[in-house]
Structure 1
Amino acid sequence: MAEQDPKQPENEVQDEQTANPEAQLETAEEVAAAEAADAGAEGDTEVSLDDELSQLQEDLLAARDAALRAQADAQNVKRRAEQDVEKARKFALERFASDLLPVVDNLERALEAASGDDEAIKPIAEGVELTLKSFIDVLGKNKVDVVDPQGEPFDPNLHQAITMIENKEVEPNTVTAVMQKGYSLNGRLIRPAMVMVSKGG
């Protein structure tokens, strides 16, 4: 008996592949498809990383903007609080000073009434004058200033016109008489001056 060639099965496989080129083609297409799929997956990964990076950059910008806005708001709140404290400190005496102004008015009226040649009244007038001067000095030390616009142009922000009188000797809209002095505290008007104003003839 002749011995069987052990290499025959390999030859048969090679012969089958050579005889069936379509099988080789299908195998090559599968390999190409697999490679293309791998390449596509890598491309998708790169695209998704780019998108994620862009989103992170946007989030960072948004967080930075929010932090800057919060810092600005905090500074504004602090500044407003400091302004409120300063106003409270500057104008804490406003009501107290307003309540004292009628006392000053009464002292001025008493001084006017005591003016004269009567020797018996002169000591009283001097005492009232000294008291009034001390009172005005104390008000001045506490930033309470007198508004006495005699002869000045009328200012509706500082003066209250009681009446207008015709006076050809002065310019129209001039304060010709001060019926009651005004006062301001740290530049804020706490009582307008009551005045008479000239008008043209």
Structure 2
Amino acid sequence: MKCNDILNNSSLDHIKKELINKELKKNIEYLEKKKLKVLDLKNDILKHSKLYADKLLKLEKRLQKKIYNTYNFFLEKYFISILPIVDSIDSSVNLLDSLHQDNSNDIYISLKNIQKNFFYLFTQYKISVIESTNIPFNPDLHQAISIDFSGKYKNNFISCIIQKGYSINNRLLRPALVSVSQIK
């Protein structure tokens, strides 16, 4: 009986081993499937993270552009509101210059200092003044309000600046009011 028990036990051990091996194979297959699934999920996450990173980069660029445009729009509005003051100061200085009086009085010196401060402010914000004469008329920069038939300049050239024009960052703030030469 002991022999039969031993044989039965060994056959039971063998059956247990087979069952354990089958279970182990099932678990290994299951683990392999889960590893593949985890790998697919990792790839999806990487793909989506790259997609979202690209979207964030595009959003950041778009926001930077909007901030830049808003800043420039503010500067334009601000400087357009200042231009009448600058024009008044320029015309006052020009009037005092044309009177040929002693230009050492306090008012003249103060106006010249204010004019220099505005010029410094304009250079800081890259505002350029359109005030050149004897150059071809450009309708993008100039607004013709009179015609000069004197013959001193070539045809369609700026003969006189009546009011200065201004541009900021190559965008026109205000066109220069000019007199344009015409040959009869």
Structure-2-length-normalised TM-score: 0.63
Which residue is 1:128 aligned to?
111
Q: Is 1:150 equivalent to 2:133 in the alignment?
A: yes
- Report how far residue 147 of structure 1 moved: 1.2
- C-alpha distance in structure 1 between counterparts of 2:100 and 2:63, whole Å: 58
Larger radius of gyration: 1
Give the corresponding residue for 1:113.
95
Using the aligned pairs only, state the percent identity. 27
Contact preservation (8 Å) 1:91, 1:185:
no
Query: Which of 83, 92, 96 lines up with 2:65 in the alignment?
Result: 83
**CA contact 1:183–1:189 (8 Å) conserved in 2:** yes
The residue number in structure 2 matching 1:102 is 84
Matched AA of 1:125: Y
Residue 72 (structure 1) shift: 7.4
Q: What are the equivalent positions in structure 2 for 1:155-174 lying under 5 Å apart? A: 155-174=138-157
Contact 1:97–1:144 (CA<8 Å) still a contact in 2?
A: no
SS at match of 2:140: coil
Matched, 1:177 2:160: yes
SS in 1 for 2:74: coil
Give the distance between the partners of 1:151 and 1:84, measured in 2 at CA.
39
Aligned residues: 135
Partners of 1:185 and 1:80 in 2: how far apart? 22
| Alpha-carbon displacement from aligned partner over 1:107-164 (angstroms, at most 9, x marks no partner) | 1111112123433x53222221121111111122122221113221111001111022
Unaligned runs of 5+ in 1: 1-66
1:69 deviation in Å?
Answer: 9.6
What is the SS of the residue equivalent to 1:93?
Answer: helix
Residue in 1 that maps onto 2:28: none
Provide the alpha-carbon RMSD of the alignment. 2.5
Give the match's secondary structure for 1:92: helix
- Deviation per CA, 1:76-99, whole angstroms, max 9, x where unpaired? 554333222222233421111111
Structure 2, unaligned runs of 5 or more: 1-47
Alignment of 1:182-201 (within 5 A): 182-201=165-184
| Alpha-carbon offset, residue 172 of structure 1 | 0.7
